[in-house]
Amino acid sequence: MQGFPRFTPVAEHGLLVEFGERIEAAIHDRVLALDAGLAADPCPGLAETVPAFASLMIRFDPLATDHAAVETHARGLLTRPLAARQTTPRDVRVCYDADLAPDLAEVARASGLSPEEVIAAHLAGRYEVFMYGFAPGYAYLAGVPDVLQMPRKPTAVRGVPAGSVLIAGPQCLVSTLTMPTGWWIIGRSPTRILTEDPARPFLFDVGDPVRFRRISRAEFGAA
């Protein structure tokens, strides 16, 4: 893409590497490639990397290196071939019963589908974790089918339960805390995203594929 990658210093300890301006698989693949490259071959002073939809933040120790050296190292990594990726989807169970999916009927009306067709379309989506943000374990998944893509609500709804399956635009997520949201609530999942394992606090890694699996209300209640 013309003009990218773009390298921008952030304070004295960060470098933002941008690969584009859209939520797009090819752009995100480049983010993941640089993230994996830095994990395998870190530059001196590397503190952490934070992948997002179309960019990677590289945070470093300014006493050990500087922006120019980090950029040179990153540019060298970008010439390497893409590494193999996780291909087996991680399953997320979801119940679409009406009381757990208060916006399902409205999404159906707006899309011109029946509620069952909305559910089928959601289950057929090919999802991938593009980034974490906003709250612990909030994995932003790309891959919502075009027919289900709706703008966010004009006003957020308070007290949305943890485990709610939400969509807005091309994104989907499973909430991990009770909090407000302006996204559309189309189901609820008993799958635990927060693992309570310090070594792996979240169920997914950025770049993991995710698959939704429908369950009954009885299965939801028993989970």
Label each residue of 139-175 as H, E or C.
Answer: EEEECCCHHHCCCCCCCCEEEECCCEEEEECCEEEEC
Cα three-residue angle 57-59-62, rounded to 5 degrees: 145
Report which DSSP code applies to 100.
G
Tokens coding 199: 């070594």
What's the pLDDT score for residue 47? Answer: 96
Other C-beta atoms lying within 10 Å of the C-beta of residue 146? 9
Tokens coding 97: 């019963």
What's the pLDDT score for residue 135? Answer: 85
SS3 119: helix
**Total domains present in the chain:** 2
Supply φ then ψ for residue 81, to 5 degrees.
-70, 155
Which domain-ending residue is among 19, 51, 77? 77
What's the pLDDT score for residue 13? Answer: 96
In a shared domain, residues 64 and 111 = no
Supply φ then ψ for residue 44, to 5 degrees.
-55, 135
User: Is residue 143 in some structural domain?
Assistant: yes
Q: What is the CATH number of the domain that holds 140?
A: 2.40.100.10
What's the pLDDT score for residue 83? Answer: 64
What's the pLDDT score for residue 84? Answer: 63
Which residues in the chain come in under a pLDDT of 50? none
pTM score, whole prediction: 0.83
Q: Tokens 């980034």 appear where? A: 131
Q: Which amino acid is at 164?
A: S
What's the pLDDT score for residue 86? Answer: 64
Query: What are the residue ranges of helices labelled H in 78-132?
Result: 104-111, 115-124
Which domain-ending residue is among 77, 98, 115? 77
User: Is residue 155 in some structural domain?
Assistant: yes
Reported as a single tens digit per residue, the pLDDT across 28-69 is: 889 999 999 999 999 999 999 999 989 999 999 999 999 999
In a shared domain, residues 45 and 101 = no
What's the pLDDT score for residue 23? Answer: 84
What's the pLDDT score for residue 223? Answer: 84
Q: Which domain holds residue 179?
A: 90-222
User: Is residue 144 in some structural domain?
Assistant: yes
